[in-house]
Amino acid sequence: MAFSRGQYVRIEDPPTHSRYYQEDSAEFAATLQAGNDEFSHTSSGSLRNDIRLDTFSKESNKPYLEDGVHPDLEQRTSAVKELARSYSKRSHKAAGGSPYASPFMIEADPALNPSAPNFNATKWAKSIVELTSKDRMLRSAGVCFQNLNVHGFHAATDFQKTVGNVWLSLASTVREHFSPNRQEVDILRQCDGLVRKGEMLVVLGPPGSGCSTFLKTIAGDTNGLHVDYDSYFNYQGLRAKELHTHHRGEAIYTAEVDVHFPMMTVGDTLTFASRARKPRQLPLGFSGNEYSDHLRDVIMAMFGITHTFNTPVGDDTVRGVSGGERKRVTIAEAALSGAPLQCWDNSTRGLDSANAIEFCKTLRLQADVFDITACVSIYQAPQSAYDLFDKAMVLYEGRQIFFGRADEAKQYFIDLGFECPPRQTTPDFLTSMTSPLERIVRPGFEGRVPNTPDDFAAAWKKSVRYNTLEVEIDQYKIDHPLDGVDALVFRASKEAQQARGQRRKSPYILSYPQQIQLCLWRGLMRLKGDPSLTIGALVGNLILSLVVGSVFFNLNETTSSFVPRGTLIFFSCLLNGLSSLLEILTLFAQRPIVEKHVRYALYHPSAEAVSSFLCDLPNKIIASLVFNLTLYFMTNLRREPGPFFFFLLISFSTVLVMSMIFRTIASLARSLFQALVPAGILMLNLIIFTGFVIPTNYMLGWCRWINYIDPLAYAFESLVVNEFHNREFKCNNFVPSRNFPEYANVESESQVCNSVGARPGKDFVLGDDYASATFGYEWGNRWRNFGIMIVFTVLLFGCYLVAAELISEKKSKGEVLVYPRSQKPVSARNPWRDYGYADLEASGPDRGPVTTGKRGRNHFAQGRGLQQQKSIFQWHNVCYDIKIKKDTRRILDHVDGWVKPGTLTALMGVSGAGKTVYWIA
């Protein structure tokens, strides 16, 4: 049964409310509950193959109920219906029982009534999202591009950087940047296309063909890429510059790796995304967080991940949800971000066939419900996944050799003179066009078919389908002129959702204080999900303080304790400062997630920086108290209230200022290695020029300035004068000593204490004299030093925020062959021909076809003298249990098996079946 795109119909909602919702022009073939919501999608006069809105098919390995209803589908539909009932009751109650209080117009459309027998879960989900903008339509954005050309600058070879020659690379970098003879590499050449709202485009091509570059260009993630000036973009009336700056987050690019905070639960992860795009105007009876949580629950129910609400997301090292469920979490996060244009780059990597199909079906559901435009690159796409797409694009070494309806792509190349072998899927057939070894020429077309990428591109430009595409593009320009009505509606919709006080041209929905507050909430959820790092740091500080305190245990108040006390204070400053060194690793671990959220326009990077500092502040306070209290009283430092609290104040200030130094270094660097090297060198200099290793009186003039910019130096001086001021330390040894017979009767006035700062005739040494004579420190500088440390902290905190806001991730670049500097060749080969450029999916050189034969395995083993194994490995009753909170869950339940040498055994199962756990066990 055909299903065509509806039009926005205005429904007057007495007495004052009015809503927009999209009314479907045809009914579904059967109800969503029956699991038969198959429909055909008509767009631009094209009829797409039947798909299922429920994202499941009869071919799934999961069992169906007796009446033919998929159990997982029934669970999804039931969850959505319960949410709808809860939402409608709340809105009805908030309006005092008005018959028009329901936000879903249940009297106007019974399909939106959760109590009606023909309740449509899909239509209800769409209505709740459209409700967020009240009198505005749900934002949508198609994309039209013409003469798209993308290039980059690349060097085929480079020399290996070392400590000795790294400075020489600066001159070559400047020369290459301004030289007119830089090697320009074309990545995409003269690509044209049109993807309307609600459509899905699949981008096919081998690694290195430009698929990633195309998706990045469409999404505006062109860091390191150069788009030609004459390239034309039309995002449904919006210019590319405006969309990618003022409306950043409306077009997003998602790479193949799912990046989330692994210890956060799925519910908290999606709650954060929902609240980050919380609209200002909300339905009657709901607060911001309540509505965001309802929207999160709807999305989770639709995508079938409600059962993972309290499960950690996990990653490659942290156990969490399965790979397929993690992929659906990523899609749900993108849906909650409200991006109408989404680009997914090889997101099926690492998924089995069933989960790859499930990924595409989830995107299809998102596109149909929310009018999302999705552009997806897939390698080795299953046929059932390919059938879900409206349009297809084939790239061959940066040249476009086809763009059009997905169901017409195969016939185009057949008409061109190529043959599709039996049982070969359409996406494999299309990809084979880019490989001379794989494509098969039909009989009678020898010598008449294109061979090179340029031949294929020329044949496409001359085809009838290309002319049809040009006509559609011209009509699209007329229907959606740049800066026309569609652009005005889009801007008005965006402004209606922005928080009060937010700039109109800001890409963010929440205000800056709201962003900080939300990031603080996430920081607390992360701490709740994984308190082991915090607890480990506290325990480590306690152990360290016990070890150091035992070395300097219970120092006496004599001159013999001068050196140990100075050493102890130095170690105290050093260990307080080094306690923040690992923050570099923490910041880089979360940096990919923060950068993804910045692309989604969820929050400012500096807002996350502020919240990160505030979240770590209680931990820093507790850790500082644990370490310094234990150390202070074990070593018998000055037992007076004033000096004690001043010691804690300076120690905590040292922690803060060093934390800001390491955070600033991490924000300025674009990779972890770029941050660790200067951090290590800087820390070494800060230690040397503190004033203990080399006293200030002995510092040479050319390096004395380092002491002035060393925060540890000011902390050390303050702690030294705080410990020694106005104290008398009894002498242990005198000169001359009465232990010698000839000086046994020497008078006290003729003796002097054997210590720095001693005065003739005194049997004690003033602490102030010792501090002044040894280090050159004065008691009056203590509060001045504290003020200087505060200034350092504030300035470095400002630098940290600016760097976090402005410094982007490391630019992408192609593979470069590295030589020793003395052996670098004079001439470099063509980087495009030899190495491939820029595309992240081009991870290695092309490999030829793999052939097998009777002698293949044995010949391989014998050729390398490998000893053949004859033992059979067997296992029996393997069980694997994990503990989740207070419950125990069995992952493997009495599994048996065996493997025989010389055979290949395949471990198969759906996502979440326990395959990875099986290997671990």
Record the tokens describing residue 156, joined without a space: 């085929």
Residue 823 lies in a domain: no
Record the tokens describing residue 871, joined without a space: 């033992």
pLDDT for res 532: 87
Q: Is the pLDDT of residue 365 over 70?
A: yes
Compute the average pLDDT of residues 847-857: 41
Q: Is the pLDDT of residue 178 over 80?
A: no
Residue 622 lies in a domain: yes
Is residue 772 domain-shared with residue 884, that is, in the same domain? no
pLDDT range class, residue 130, cuts 50, 70, 90:
low
pLDDT for res 184: 76
Residue 877 lies in a domain: yes
Domain endpoint, select from 787, 806, 825:
806
Q: Is the pLDDT of residue 125 over 80?
A: no
pLDDT range class, residue 79, cuts 50, 70, 90:
low
Is residue 772 domain-shared with residue 905, that is, in the same domain? no
Is residue 795 domain-shared with residue 886, that is, in the same domain? no
Which helix (H) or strand (E) is 532 found in, with range?
Answer: helix 532-551
Q: Is the pLDDT of residue 856 over 70?
A: no
Rounded to the nearest 10 degrees, how much is the dihedral formed by the CA atoms of 511, 509, 76, 259? -80
438-480 residue pLDDT tens:
999 999 888 889 999 999 999 999 999 999 999 999 999 999 9
pLDDT for res 115: 58
Main-chain phi, psi angles of 389, to 5 degrees: -90, 150
Q: pTM of the predicted model, to two decimals?
A: 0.77
pLDDT for res 552: 93
pLDDT range class, residue 30, cuts 50, 70, 90:
very low
Q: Collapsing DSSP states into helix, strand and coil, what is residue 835?
A: coil
Distance CA 577, CA 659 (A): 8
Of the two residues 145 and 60, the one the predictor is more confident about is: 145
Is residue 518 domain-shared with residue 660, that is, in the same domain? yes
Q: Is the pLDDT of residue 694 over 70?
A: yes
Compute the average pLDDT of residues 525-537: 89
588-616 residue pLDDT tens:
989 999 999 999 999 999 999 999 999 99
Is residue 569 domain-shared with residue 713, that is, in the same domain? yes
Q: Is the pLDDT of residue 738 over 60?
A: yes
Distance CA 781, CA 769 (A): 15
Q: Residue type at 904?
A: L
Compute the average pLDDT of residues 676-700: 90
Percent pLDDT > 90 in the chain is 43
Q: Is the pLDDT of residue 323 over 90?
A: no
Is residue 783 domain-shared with residue 892, that is, in the same domain? no
Is residue 730 domain-shared with residue 593, that is, in the same domain? yes
pLDDT range class, residue 204, cuts 50, 70, 90:
very high
Residue 232 lies in a domain: no
Q: Collapsing DSSP states into helix, strand and coil, what is residue 755?
A: coil
384-419 residue pLDDT tens:
999 999 999 999 999 999 999 999 999 999 999 999
Compute the average pLDDT of residues 521-550: 91
Compute the average pLDDT of residues 40-44: 35
Residue 458 lies in a domain: no
817-821: long-range contacts at Cβ-Cβ below 8 A with a sequence spacing of 24 or more? 817/156, 817/157, 817/158, 818/157, 818/158, 818/159, 818/160, 819/157, 819/158, 819/159, 819/160, 820/159, 820/160, 821/159, 821/160, 821/162, 821/165, 821/168
Main-chain phi, psi angles of 580, to 5 degrees: -100, 5
Is residue 35 domain-shared with residue 123, that is, in the same domain? yes
Percent pLDDT > 70 in the chain is 73
Compute the average pLDDT of residues 34-52: 35
Compute the average pLDDT of residues 154-163: 62
Q: Is the pLDDT of residue 718 over 50?
A: yes
Among 18-22, 562-566, 870-874, name the one with the lowest average pLDDT. 18-22
Residue 228 lies in a domain: no
CB distance 822 to 160 below 8 Å: no
Compute the average pLDDT of residues 784-811: 91
Domain endpoint, select from 747, 774, 806:
806
Compute the average pLDDT of residues 515-521: 95
pLDDT range class, residue 63, cuts 50, 70, 90:
very low
Of the two residues 921 and 19, the one the predictor is more confident about is: 921
Range of the domain at 674: 512-806
Is residue 784 domain-shared with residue 899, that is, in the same domain? no
Q: Residue type at 823?
A: Q
Q: Is the pLDDT of residue 157 over 70?
A: no
Domain endpoint, select from 105, 133, 161:
133
Of the two residues 51 and 562, the one the predictor is more confident about is: 562
pLDDT for res 746: 74
Please list, in sequence order, all residues whose beta carbon lies within 8 angstroms of the beta carbon of residue 100, skipping any fewer than 6 positions away: 13, 14, 15, 17, 107
Of the two residues 326 and 284, the one the predictor is more confident about is: 326
225-238 residue pLDDT tens:
889 999 999 999 99
pLDDT for res 276: 92
Please list, in sequence order, all residues whose beta carbon lies within 8 angstroms of the beta carbon of residue 629, skipping any fewer than 6 positions away: 648
In the chain, the number of structural domains is 3
pLDDT range class, residue 916, cuts 50, 70, 90:
confident
Range ranked top by mean pLDDT from 94-103, 116-125, 768-777, 867-876: 768-777
Residue 906 lies in a domain: yes
Is residue 607 domain-shared with residue 754, that is, in the same domain? yes
pLDDT range class, residue 815, cuts 50, 70, 90:
low
pLDDT for res 826: 52
pLDDT for res 87: 60
Q: Provide the CA 729 distance to its chain's centre, in angstroms.
A: 58
What's the mean per-residue pLDDT of the chain? Answer: 79
pLDDT for res 60: 36
pLDDT for res 120: 65
Is residue 636 domain-shared with residue 776, that is, in the same domain? yes
pLDDT for res 27: 33
Compute the average pLDDT of residues 109-128: 63
Whether the link from the prior residue into 849 is cis, omega within 30° of 0, is no
pLDDT for res 846: 40
Among 96-105, 575-584, 621-630, 761-770, name the one with the lowest average pLDDT. 96-105
Of the two residues 70 and 297, the one the predictor is more confident about is: 297
Is residue 561 domain-shared with residue 691, that is, in the same domain? yes
Residue 590 lies in a domain: yes
Of the two residues 607 and 740, the one the predictor is more confident about is: 607
